[in-house]
Amino acid sequence: MRAMILAAGLGKRMHPLTQNTPKPLLKVAGKTLIEHQLARLQRAGITNVVINHSYLGSQIETALGDGAHYGLSINYSAEPVRLETAGGIIEALPLLQEPSFVVVNADIWCDFDVASLAPVVAQLAAGSDDLAFLVLVDNASHNPKGDFSLDESGRVGLPSDATQQAPGCVTNENLTFSGISVLSRALFAGCGPGPRPLLPLLLAAIEAGKVGGVHHRGLWVDVGTPERLAEVEAICRSEGEPT
């Protein structure tokens, strides 16, 4: 499997911590956020990783190098102009090479087993009709309405009205996108270079019935603020790093 780590964010909500440091290089339990991600990917059997970056991105390349120290091969996709999520992935497609690949946000803390995505990667690569597979989690206080619905057969749906549950929905509410997914190159067919958000592409694929998913009920933190960074540090002190 190949993976891409999305690390091109500005980290504005992390100020002043990100004034001179890109968010992926903020430390938890003595290691940077992105190093924890690399370790989890390596344990999942992934050997090739692409990292996109923009704000202070040269610091990320200097810190991580070619990945040999982590048992990985790392390639970088630098963005002089931020390309947003889909635009960044499209720019990196020549480096990703494979028909399907894992995508992970650099700034999440999660105990989801990335190795469990191997069959999904293989299915999408083998010509499955699906264009994406999303790992969904319970809604956090900062995203109480969630992002997508999920039915009993593992199909991701458009957000359901909180007052009227969608038929077959697993939960009484929408779920939140974790920032972990498997994406097919075909999701980006016909998309040219330049800034482009991912959500419209996902919504179109969902409307076409081409997105699967799973509800992860374990640990997940969107490490987007200094308070949540401190929360993850406290988790590490009491429980250690998730495997």
pTM of the model: 0.93
Average pLDDT, the chain: 93
What pLDDT is recorded for position 121?
A: 98
Query: Is the predicted pLDDT of residue 169 greater than 70, yes or no?
Result: no
Please give the backbone phi and psi of residue 225, each rounded to the nearest 5 degrees, phi first.
Answer: -135, 160
Work out the pLDDT band at 160, boundaries 50, 70, 90. Answer: confident
Scored b (16 or more CB within 10 A) or e, 186-224 reads bbbeeeeeeebebeebbeebbeeebbbbbebeeebbbbb
Is the domain defined by 2-239 classed in CATH 3.40.50.720? no
Work out the pLDDT band at 243, boundaries 50, 70, 90. Answer: low
**Domain boundaries, given as residue ranges, for the chain:** 2-239
Mean pLDDT of 200-205: 98
Query: Is the predicted pLDDT of residue 168 greater than 80, yes or no?
Result: no
